[in-house]
Structure 1
Amino acid sequence: MDETTVLAALAPRLRWFAAVGRAEHVTRAADELGVPQSTLSRGIARLEEELGVALFVRAGRSLRLTREGRTLLRAAERSLAELATGARDLAGDADRLRGRISLAFLPTLGTDVVPHLLSEFRGRHPGIRFDLIQDAHSVLLARVRSGEADLALTSPLPEEAALAAHALGEEELRLAVPAGHPLADRVDGLPLADAASEAFVGFLPGYGLRGTVDAWCREAGFTPRLAFEGGDTATLRGFVGAGLGVALLPVSHREPPPGVVELPVSSPRTSRVIGLVWARNRAASAPTRALRDFVRRRRRPLFADRVTT
């Protein structure tokens, strides 16, 4: 099949194939796309017929990509990301006050940091709309690499050739303990090693803070004994307040909730760098560039509203 014929067969079904390839399940992909399952199945079968290769191995309702399918999926995702960037460029460059930005960020930043940033930015560019993504650190980076997210606010900052990162500020973490806990009166601070025998509530694997907290505990000479794991800071803080363990958590942006005391850690230094991440070699739309420049030039400290006393 010549190149023109391949493109004619592939182009109309590129998004369908990519959705099925990511999910490896026709029903879930059909739900995501909003098309009938039968229509999607016929479209994929027709694509395989026209290309002359099997893209999937079928096992009941589930699918598994073949080698050829994996190759095509990588190319499809790159192509779709470039098309999305081009479409955003057209909208954004025509009028810098219009367009959409896909912003990914850590759940711990969703309570105050991201809302305050976007409120300030929308005051200058009210016509720009946002697609917001909250997820674990590893997922955020994957979305930036694939083009699903234009920018990500995350920590730790990646060190890889494909991604650019700009540090925006440091966020302090404190040891949250239940009120009435034997450590609760150590308001002037304590070494993390003093909590070595405590049960911890912590973040799930894949969250940036999970690896960071584990590293701090190793530096303090112990491995934390985890009683509960979760992905939401407010939930973990609630578990602390219920007396189910202690936790290293970002400093509350207001006063800690009733039943929780936040203690400064004297050693090791428990703060992490939060930064903005984007794909180094992908052209950014005008709205994305405007947000990136706004955040990088913002004079007010990123965590100015956090309680630090």
Structure 2
Amino acid sequence: MLNEEIPAAQLAELDPQAPVVRMAPRLAQFAAVARLEHVTRAAELLGMPQPTLSRAIARLEGELGVALLTREGRTVRLTRAGHLLLGSVERALGELERGVRTVRAEADPAAGRVAFGFLHTMGTDAVPALLRGFRDDYPRVRFQLVQDYVAAMLERLRAGELDLCLVSPLPDDPQLTARSLDEQVLHLVVPADHRLAGRRRIRLAEVAQEPFVALGHGYGLRQITDDFCAQAGFAPRIAFEGEEAETLRGLVAAGLGVALLPPGTVPRPGVVDLTVTAPRTRRAIGLAWVTGRPLTAPVEAFREFVLSRQGRLLDHG
């Protein structure tokens, strides 16, 4: 069905703007003739035979039911209807030209734009280090940076709003391609006065009855927390939900629960990080993009740079 030609009447019913869409090439050709006031010169500018251009203008006039041009020897003049139409056509062409310039600027290998999404917990050290390293070679490339929870970022990736995402866990989705870059240890964080605070290592099952503080549903770290607790044989009793790992540390310090968290960006008094021996609480961090979607030159360059950091993503030196 996709390869069958849709009758014009049916197309008009599906889309009231369809006749205008079909006229679009002829409207641009009309604008060229109107600007130059000469059909032959306009044909040369457009790279098409003069008789073909003349027929196109005549067809446009027939579709509109009005004369747009009057012939005066070798030149043409706009009719009143032609003047009215030209203003609208030139405004539309101006918008299109701006759009084309914007798209070309986005794809400029040296100064294009990359829309990059990443985990909140990567925003303090890992992502700034990536950007600094990349811009040593591409100093003019621009970035749109988005921090969000994993489900929202992946949805924006599929929709084309983002080019690349740094995520955990890695998505299991045929629409997306993901490459693992590094593993990050997750510690059990407890209050400094907790009964287990003097320990260095712990099995996760030992806190099965403790209240947990965690990120909300949709965050990758929340999914990972739930999965590790399930492996340890229990469902965590969530006392408080937050949106930032450092906020959760503050809640732990206040004695409101325990949490599975990556290493803190700065030492926080009032909490102790314990190594979990069972299960092995590590999360894979990787880069995701839409399978088969063409990437602009700057996005491709940044993707290759990030992939080259495999095994060193969390090395911020």
TM over 0.5, shorter chain: yes
Q: What is the Cα deviation at residue 192 of structure 1?
A: 0.5
What's 2:177 paired with?
164
What's 1:111 paired with?
124
What's 2:246 paired with?
234
For the residues of structure 2 that align with 1:86 and 1:286, how far apart are their CA atoms?
A: 16
Amino acid at match of 1:259: G
Q: What is the Cα deviation at residue 305 of structure 1?
A: 4.6
What's 1:265 paired with?
276
Computed over aligned residues only, the root mean square deviation of the Cα atoms, in angstroms, reads 2.5
What's 1:279 paired with?
290
Q: What is the Cα deviation at residue 88 of structure 1?
A: 7.1
Q: What is the Cα deviation at residue 274 of structure 1?
A: 0.5
What's 1:21 paired with?
none
Q: Structure 1's 101 and 173: CA in aligned 2 closer, same or farther, altered over 3 A?
A: same
Picking from 210, 215, 218, the partner of 1:198 is 210
For the residues of structure 2 that align with 1:305 and 1:258, how far apart are their CA atoms?
A: 23
Structure 2 portions without partners, runs of 5+: 1-8, 25-98
What's 2:304 paired with?
293
What's 1:210 paired with?
222
Amino acid at match of 2:136: G
Picking from 104, 129, 139, the partner of 1:90 is 104
Picking from 187, 193, 196, the partner of 1:183 is 196
What's 1:150 paired with?
163
State whether residues 176 and 260 of structure 1, in contact with CA within 8 Å, keep that contact through their aligned partners in structure 2: yes
Amino acid at match of 2:115: S
Give yes or no for the alignment of 1:99 onto 2:112: yes
For the residues of structure 1 that align with 2:307 and 2:157, how far apart are their CA atoms?
A: 18
For the residues of structure 2 that align with 1:88 and 1:293, how far apart are their CA atoms?
A: 24
| Number of residue pairs matched by the alignment | 230
For the residues of structure 2 that align with 1:89 and 1:263, how far apart are their CA atoms?
A: 50
Structure 1 residues 21-43: Cα deviation after superposition (integer angstroms, max 9, x where no partner)? xxxxxxxxxxxxxxxxxxxxxxx
State whether residues 165 and 278 of structure 1, in contact with CA within 8 Å, keep that contact through their aligned partners in structure 2: yes
For the residues of structure 1 that align with 2:129 and 2:208, how far apart are their CA atoms?
A: 36
Picking from 141, 156, 177, the partner of 2:154 is 141
| 4+ long deviations beyond 6 Å | 85-89
Percent identity, please.
46
Amino acid at match of 1:267: A
Greater C-alpha radius of gyration: 2
For the residues of structure 1 that align with 2:217 and 2:173, how far apart are their CA atoms?
A: 21
For the residues of structure 2 that align with 1:275 and 1:300, how far apart are their CA atoms?
A: 10
Amino acid at match of 2:288: V
For the residues of structure 2 that align with 1:145 and 1:287, how far apart are their CA atoms?
A: 19
State whether residues 89 and 286 of structure 1, in contact with CA within 8 Å, keep that contact through their aligned partners in structure 2: no
Partner of 1:143, secondary structure, is: helix
Q: What is the Cα deviation at residue 9 of structure 1?
A: 6.9
Normalising by structure 2, report the TM-score. 0.67
For the residues of structure 1 that align with 2:247 and 2:116, how far apart are their CA atoms?
A: 23
Normalising by structure 1, report the TM-score. 0.69
Structure 1 residues 182-210: Cα deviation after superposition (integer angstroms, max 9, x where no partner)? 111112x1100111111110010111111
